[in-house]
Structure 1
Amino acid sequence: MADIGLRDMLDAGVHFGHQTRYWNPKMSPYIFGSRNKVHIVHLERTLELLEEALASVRLLASRNKQILFVGTKRSASRTIREQAIRAEMPYVDRRWLGGMLTNYKTIRQSIRRLTDLEAQDAMSQFDLLPKKEALQKRRQMDKLTKSLGGIKDMGGLPDALFVVDVMHERIAVDEANKLGIPIIGVVDTNSDPGGVDWVIPGNDDAFRAVSLYVTAVADAIVEGRKLEAQGGVTAEDFVAEASAEADVAAAAEETAATEETAATEEAAATEQAAATEEAAATEEAAATEEAVATDEATATADTGATEKGADGGDKTEA
């Protein structure tokens, strides 16, 4: 999986939120600021949370868990479909049908109907029917394919949901919450992150931004499955290794900060010692100068007294 950096997010426009008047206060921890009345998402926080979400996705995929991709918006539907197919995961790229999770028994009946129609079409049985009846069955099959084609091979309730724009897909989020299904969600500044287990704060409208999230999740799924298939490093080891690397990096930063503090203190002590020595030298020089001045004054006084004594002797002789 290609590493995602801050530059990739900037180029994709991940940092652009919605207008400030439409913001949800619950998103304040993920907002960096605003510009031209548009909120700016904190990309460093987004990158951190995205990496955490991808680590969880790898772990789920390595255990052969089903992750349902959900994105019915125009900017997300095509990418959701393409990447879910690549990752061999179920998806919903059209309208979310109410009860798709909470009333899965009824949905399963519709899936069976779709499977039967596809089997009849594959065996060319429609050609044996009257044109009107064949047309009706084909229309029914097309309708079911658009609604349920992405989940017909799911085989049961998914183990997790990956949702693009949790506000637009609120029904799906509510159903998953009722059933206790964990959610990985792209959450914009106007959305409520409540009920989302792994929040990915960022732009959920721009095609390039959406493509970045969805492709990263699909890559993580493919990578997670390879970890177990190769019989090498397990997903648990991968997560543990990532945590260890993070701890090492944190320790290195702490050590560097400690060394920098020690160097600063040592430099300050050196400067203080130099200042003390300089002050002592100055005091010593001042004392020396004072002593010299005192000696000179004493010598001058002695000379004056001698001359005065000599003058007094001459007057006596006269």
Structure 2
Amino acid sequence: MKKDKIDEFDVKPEEMMEAGLQFGHQTSKTHPKMKPFLFGVRNSIHIFDVEKTAEKLRGALEFIQKLILDNKTLLFVGTKIQAKNLAKETATELSFPYVIERWLGGTITNFGIIKNRIDYFKDLESKKNTGELDKYTKKERLEFGKELERLRIKFEGIKEMSQIPDAVFVLDIKKDALAIEEAKKKGLKTIGICDTSTDPTLVDYPILANDDAISSLKYILEKVKGVIKAAQLKAGEKKQEQEKEKKEEGKKE
């Protein structure tokens, strides 16, 4: 069974090493709960045991696969500089929400208030696009433009999110600790990339890897993207089959 999962997700330790997933932080910064997952030390840097990293990555991918097959949503969170574009590109390609600027308190725990602001943003954006703001003075239009830009920075990634997500994927659990805290309060499952300086028990599905190197982040997100796309396709086919069966039953009646 384990071998099937390895083949299914195509997680190869040698490829992970090429992408630099194994390089952690300085030994002085290592979190005590991370020690069981370490291989050794190189130039005062802790090195992950890539076999254990591979095992944790497979576990995270298996959870994500089931999530998508159940037609549930995943929120991507990556607010540090090197993670922003990768998080946005991945989420956008998969039609999932994302947060790449500062996490707004209440995004999950007080979504009603956040949703009101999103609705205001979408309404203002629509009015600008349809020319409804043209009746205002130049000064007023400039103010609307500034307001729109502020709202876009805050809400662009979640403007199509009609309810809280079913799970949260965090690219740096230390940088975006608040997102994890809010997810936990609402009972949402969390997946997170955990470097050697972090506590892997803070998330339900820790991915033990370098959370700074772009090559490491890219490798992980490519795996996540591949699993989600395959699951979305399978879920879509299943839905079509169910609709076909309903039509057939209707004809019989």
TM-score, reference length from structure 1? 0.71
1:79 correspondence with 2:86: yes
1:256-295 equivalences in 2 (<5 Å): none
Structure-1 separation of matches of 2:141 and 2:227? 43
2:36 aligned residue = 29
CA contact 1:16–1:203 (8 Å) conserved in 2:
yes
1:94-113 equivalences in 2 (<5 Å): 94-113=101-120
1:1-318 equivalences in 2 (<5 Å): 3-231=10-238
Determine helix, strand or coil for the equivalent of 1:230: helix
Structure-2 separation of matches of 1:173 and 1:116? 30
CA contact 1:187–1:201 (8 Å) conserved in 2:
yes
CA contact 2:9–2:227 (8 Å) conserved in 1:
no
Indicate the larger mover: 213-222 or 163-172. 213-222
Structure-2 separation of matches of 1:161 and 1:44? 25
Indicate the larger mover: 213-222 or 22-31. 213-222
1:290 aligned residue = none
Residue 2 of structure 1: CA displacement? 7.6
Q: Which runs of 5+ in 2 are unaligned?
A: 1-7, 240-253
Whichever residue aligns with residue 229 of structure 2, its letter is V
Structure-1 separation of matches of 2:163 and 2:235? 23
Residue 220 of structure 1: CA displacement? 1.4
CA contact 1:87–1:219 (8 Å) conserved in 2:
no
Determine helix, strand or coil for the equivalent of 1:194: helix
Determine helix, strand or coil for the equivalent of 2:158: coil
CA contact 2:88–2:98 (8 Å) conserved in 1:
yes
Structure-2 separation of matches of 1:135 and 1:188? 44
Query: Residues 262-297 of structure 1: CA distance to partner in whole angstroms, max 9, x if unpaired?
Result: xxxxxxxxxxxxxxxxxxxxxxxxxxxxxxxxxxxx
Q: Which runs of 5+ in 1 are unaligned?
A: 233-318
Indicate the larger mover: 198-207 or 48-57. 48-57
Determine helix, strand or coil for the equivalent of 2:161: coil
CA contact 1:62–1:226 (8 Å) conserved in 2:
no
Structure-2 separation of matches of 1:6 and 1:98? 37
CA contact 1:79–1:211 (8 Å) conserved in 2:
yes
Structure-2 separation of matches of 1:180 and 1:195? 13
Indicate the larger mover: 136-145 or 183-192. 136-145
Structure-2 separation of matches of 1:189 and 1:40? 8
Determine helix, strand or coil for the equivalent of 2:200: coil
Whichever residue aligns with residue 61 of structure 1, its letter is I
Structure-2 separation of matches of 1:194 and 1:4? 22
CA contact 1:67–1:160 (8 Å) conserved in 2:
yes
Residue 49 of structure 1: CA displacement? 1.2
Structure with the largest fraction of helix: 1
Residue 165 of structure 1: CA displacement? 1.0
1:236 aligned residue = none
Residue 178 of structure 1: CA displacement? 1.1
Structure-2 separation of matches of 1:70 and 1:140? 24
Aligned length in residues: 233
Whichever residue aligns with residue 170 of structure 1, its letter is A
| Bigger relative CO (Cα 8 Å, ≥ 6 apart) | 2
